Amino acid sequence: MVGLYFRDVNPMQSLRIIPCLDVKSGRVVKGTNFVNLRDAGDPVERARLYYEQGADELVFLDITASHERRDLMFEYASRVAEEVFIPFCVGGGIKTVEDFRKILKTGADKASINTAAVNTPELVRECSERFGAQCVVVAIDPKRTGNTPSGWEVHIHGGRTPTGLDALDWASRMEELGAGEIMLTSMDADGTMAGYDVALTHAVTSRVSIPVIASGGAGTMEHIAAAWRECGAQAALISSIVHYGHATVGQIKRQLREWGIPVRYIEDSMALA
């Protein structure tokens, strides 16, 4: 797939590097091998570390099931907003406009919708009209099944349920309904650390005119470079590579910059303050 697509370096845009934290019952559940943290399970402390390393944005995916525990989500999101001065997105379990509003009210800049967008597409339009497209992130989890025209089928319920929806058509539909961004997680690539699904991601970035966040599969700096050069994505979601201490956000950005990929780069001395 290398060379499928090469983006000229465009100084008007830079690749956003977005660490993603999976949170359950108010605790980070992925990643244990973490240095420089007193408590690796505290989402706020983890968020602050990535902020200080120069992350452009953060995503929290809350996988807490029960409703009472969802209050914890609002609690840590509020604390993140107090200490982290970059944008962040919270997703997981949003079913109504009111859920969406509550998340934004904590200080989150964006909220992501996944299953609810499939069950109630109008929710995307309502949130977009009410809060602005810029804060509506639609998360799409495609898997290659061959059951749809493009071959990629949208899955929901954390990937457990196939929907029969074609991933490319669905991305277009979400854009029409007012999504501001697509967070595209390839179920085939997720967890492999073998790289983003370039074919899928490139197909979606070519189809829609809103920004696309490449997600699922990043294991090396080369993979992150491919998100920009080959996938045409505007942002790269990363998790294992930073959670397990393979590299810091700062190291990733330094390498990307050396490779000529435009990133926002803060000198280490500037990162902390």
Q: How far is the CB of 85 from another protein (least distance, A)?
A: 6
Q: What are the φ/ψ torsions at residue 196 (nearest 5 degrees)?
A: -65, 160
Q: Is residue 165 within 8 Å of residue 147, measured between CB atoms?
A: no
Q: How far is the CB of 35 from another protein (least distance, A)?
A: 22
Among residue numbers 137 through 156, which ones bind another protein (CB under 8 A)?
none
Among 72, 81, 97, 193, contact with another protein (rule: CB under 8 A)? 81
22 is catalytic: yes
Element at 203 (helix H, strand E) = helix 198-207
* Residue whose token pair is 């059951």: 147
CA distance 146 to 163: 13
CA distance 162 to 15: 31
Q: Among residues 165, 161, 173, 169, which one has the least CA distance to residue 147?
A: 165
Output b/e per residue, 30-48; b: 16+ Cβ within 10 A.
Answer: ebeebeeeeebbbbbbbbb
User: Among the candidate windows 30-38, 85-93, 116-124, 216-224, which touches another protein by CB under 8 A?
Assistant: 85-93
Q: Is the dihedral of CA 201, 204, 62, 50 positive or negative?
A: positive
Among 32, 119, 134, 161, contact with another protein (rule: CB under 8 A)? 134
Q: How far is the CB of 145 from another protein (least distance, A)?
A: 28
Q: How far is the CB of 259 from another protein (least distance, A)?
A: 18
Task: State yes or no: residue 266 binds another protein (CB under 8 A).
Answer: yes
99 is catalytic: no
Task: State yes or no: residue 206 binds another protein (CB under 8 A).
Answer: no
From 22, 62, 190, 197, the catalytic residue: 22
From 56, 141, 166, 188, the catalytic residue: 141
Among 153, 181, 188, 230, contact with another protein (rule: CB under 8 A)? 181
By beta-carbon proximity to another protein, the closer residue of 178 and 219 is: 178
Collapsed DSSP state (helix, strand, coil) of residue 184: strand
**Alpha helices of 16-134 — where are they, by DSSP H?**
43-53, 70-83, 97-105, 115-119, 122-131
* Residue whose token pair is 């990307």: 256
User: Binding marks (x or -) toward another protein, 41..80, rule CB under 8 A?
Assistant: ----------x----x---------------------x--
Q: Is residue 203 within 8 Å of residue 233, measured between CB atoms?
A: no
Footprint of another protein on this chain (CB under 8 A)? 7, 10-14, 16, 51, 56, 78, 81-83, 85-87, 104-107, 109, 129-135, 180-181, 209-211, 234-235, 264, 266, 270, 273
Task: Please identify every residue annotated as catalytic.
Answer: 22, 141
